[in-house]
Amino acid sequence: MNPVPLRCFLFCFALQTVRWHIELQPWASPTPSLNYEALRFLKYISTSQISCEHMNLNSLRGYSETAKKPWSICLDERFSLIHRIRSKQCRLYSLGLGNDDNQFEISMANSGCEVHRFDPSIKSAHVQEGRHLWYHRLSIDWRDPNPAIAAHKLHSNTKKLGTVLNEFGHQKIDVLKADVESAEWKILENLILEDVVEQIGQLVFEVHIHWPGFEVSGNDSAVVRYWYSLLRELELKDFRLFHTYKDLSKPQMFLKKEAFNASSCYTLSWVNTRWK
């Protein structure tokens, strides 16, 4: 079940700089306890670390329409995104799984951003839907497929984000949006371990906490500590949370229990304050 030795066998020899795992934060209490881990983590994901005044694309065009999801990006002048949008140089990558709500993608494309939507459920390999909007039948994963398995599968359309960036010849992503139904933890870990996050200006992630997520192991306290540690790694890389949204329309569950007044789903937005 533990994927680490296998992954390292596959790439650690080739890439000397790759870390094997993230730095775990100390436990929240002297004796590990789910209660303390949960309180620390939930407080963390509910607290903005930096203020952002302009968060809505619609505010740019002077009309307001309520978007279905709070996919918030920071358009304050002190961050580069707004300047990149004005000069039509911005790029959005959106990772999803057959979810039809493309309003955010469309409005980014209408603002002149180059939008790439990655979704394994679409019919053709690549579709261009407008001047600035592309769909790719690809699922972004935290590892590249094992070549032995890939050779046997007709549609092995699974790639790491770093691999896609290299293949597309893209150096930067202004905004990475991810709504990947619990694969976000391992994807985030991969972006941190391979330093791909440094190529990203803002992150907007839906995080799911009703179960540990794909390939996240350990008892409940260890899982929550791991989630928290991942987010602290982002902070260490100068990412700051500027918006957090608790989804009250989803089941109010935390690790399979109704507890801590938590929702199963939060949408978190970070800005990379180091990013130019």
Site residues for ligand NAG per CB under 6 A: 32, 218-219, 221-222, 246, 261
| Ramachandran category for residue 155: left, alpha or beta (phi over 0 → left; psi -120 to 50 → alpha) | beta
| Closest CB 67 distance from ligand NAG, rounded Å | 20
Nearer to ligand NAG, 34 or 271 (CB): 34
- Least Å distance between CB 166 and ligand NAG? 35
CB nearer ligand NAG, residue 121 or residue 219: 219
Q: Rounded to whole angstroms, how far apart are CA atoms 77 and 116?
A: 24
Tokens 């775990």 sit on residue: 24
* Residue 72 burial (C-beta neighbours within 10 Å; 0-12, 13-18, 19+): buried
**Whether 68 contacts 103, CB under 8 Å:** yes
- The nearest distance, CB 44 to ligand NAG, in angstroms, is 15
Q: How far apart are CA 142 and CA 95, in angstroms?
A: 13
CA distance 249 to 264: 10
CB of 221 to ligand NAG, least distance (A): 5
Least separation in angstroms between CB 117 and ligand NAG:
30
Nearer to ligand NAG, 201 or 213 (CB): 213
Which of 55, 259 has the CB closer to ligand NAG?
259
Q: Identify which of residues 33 and 273 has a Cβ nearer to ligand NAG in the complex.
A: 33
- The pair of structure tokens assigned to 123 is 């019919």
Contact 165, 171 (CB under 8 A): yes
| CA 144 – CA 165 distance, rounded (Å) | 13
User: Is 67 or 222 the residue whose CB approaches ligand NAG more closely?
Assistant: 222
Q: Which alpha helices (H) appear in 133-201, and where do they start and end?
A: 147-150, 161-168, 184-193
Residue among 17 and 261 whose Cβ is closer to ligand NAG: 261
- Please answer whether residues 9 and 2 qualify as being in contact, where contact means their C-beta atoms are separated by less than 8 angstroms: no
| DSSP states of 262-276 | --SEEEEEEEETT--
